[in-house]
Amino acid sequence: PEMLSFIQGLPKTELHLHIEGSFEPELMFKIAKRNNIEIKYANVDEIKQAYSFNNLQEFLDIYYAGASVLLTEQDFYDLTWAYLTKVHEQNVKHVEIFFDPQTHTDRNVPFEFVLNGIYNALEDGQKQLGISFRLIMSFLRHLDEASAFKTLEQALPHKDKIVAVGLDSSEVGNPPSKFQRVFEKALNEGFLTVAHAGEEGPSEYIWEALDLLKVTRIDHGNRCLDDADLVKRLVDQQTPLTLCPLSNLELKVIQDLKEYALPTMMEHNLLVTINSDDPAYFGGYMNENFWGITKALNLSKVQIAELAKNGFKASWLSEQEKQEFL
């Protein structure tokens, strides 16, 4: 369809992507084999069958199991390179991606294997594919504060490579306040901050992310619509929300894309962006996310173009770098 080629042709950003969530079953088998690790599925089809989730936690259990075959620096390089070549085909020009070091360091994979594998691929992507990037280190919120502090310490020698810290994993019961002191230290060390908030958790978690963690963006943030004062705050400050439509659908945050509150959010003048979250698990990269909402909500070209531009506005590119795309 013509709309699909319009989406394809738009220069895009991706601001909410867990690199471990881009791990496609084919690559998972290949890496498991070379690392002599058994995986509990017989083939790619069986893996894909298992990707059916009723909530965030059911997904996370499978996502951490998948990531457990990643051992060497080369594994992390290959994972990241596969993602970059994929989004390059989709005309993505700039990415700000998460990695979850604790998922790997808790299995005794050295922090530097993870970081260097990912970072070297990002640098090659910039050189060979023209994709600019920023890297965000995300803390797992189901783990304790001490583990997050230890992870922050490991990142300090690598401030040249990591620009921000984030907060992900099981949201309900693990409010932003649990990590207030860790984020305070991260801010003092010069990192930007972001946090997943209001995906499954309540709008109060979004307030905490803003007030206690001083985030410059909210990841997801769907639940902000429950609180008019919060919407006003987000609009006044133009705090970006990194929405992930197919993720919300697959994790049953919404039951149907037709009920996605995106048009309401745009009417409120919230700075909303479209992203894929964990594309290997949720059935689509950037174009599929844009296409899904376009079909379900009958979006116009003007609206789609605005969403793509919002990605550049919400990014950490310099004002000068943004100008090329705005």
Which are the catalytic amino acids? Answer: 199
Nearest to Zn ion by Cβ — which residue? Answer: 277
Distance, CA of 242 to CA of 240 (rounded, Å): 6
Q: Is 100 in the site for Zn ion (CB under 5 A)?
A: no
Residues 6+ apart with CB under 8 A from 150: none
Q: Is 247 in the site for ligand ADE (CB under 6 A)?
A: yes
Distance, CA of 196 to CA of 199 (rounded, Å): 7
Q: Is 20 in the site for Zn ion (CB under 5 A)?
A: no
Q: Which neighbouring-strand residues pair with 97?
A: 135
Q: Is 169 in the site for ligand ADE (CB under 6 A)?
A: yes
Q: Is 250 in the site for ligand ADE (CB under 6 A)?
A: no
Quick one: which of 278, 280, 309, 314 contacts ligand ADE (CB under 6 A)? Answer: 278
Q: Is 248 in the site for ligand ADE (CB under 6 A)?
A: no
Q: What is the smallest separation between the CB atom of 249 and Zn ion, expressed in angstroms?
A: 14
Question: E-strand spans in the chain?
Answer: 12-14, 92-99, 132-140, 164-168, 192-197, 217-220, 241-243, 272-274
- Considering only residues 171 to 210 of the shown chain, the ones binding ligand ADE according to CB under 6 A are 196, 199
From the list 34-42, 80-88, 186-194, 269-277, the region that binds Zn ion by CB under 5 A is: 269-277
Distance, CA of 115 to CA of 95 (rounded, Å): 16
Quick one: which of 277, 281, 287, 289 contacts Zn ion (CB under 5 A)? Answer: 277
Q: Is 18 in the site for ligand ADE (CB under 6 A)?
A: yes
Question: E-strand spans in 224-285?
Answer: 241-243, 272-274
Cα R_g (the chain), whole angstroms: 18
Positive or negative, the CA dihedral 141, 142, 146, 147 is: negative
Q: What is the smallest separation between the CB atom of 152 and ligand ADE, expressed in angstroms?
A: 18
Residues 6+ apart with CB under 8 A from 164: 96, 134, 136, 137, 191, 192, 193, 194, 216, 316
Q: What is the smallest separation between the CB atom of 203 and Zn ion, expressed in angstroms?
A: 18
Q: What is the smallest separation between the CB atom of 42 and ligand ADE, expressed in angstroms?
A: 25
Q: Which chain residues interact with ligand ADE by CB under 6 A?
A: 18, 21, 56, 168-169, 196, 199, 247, 277-278
Q: Which chain residues interact with Zn ion by CB under 5 A?
A: 277
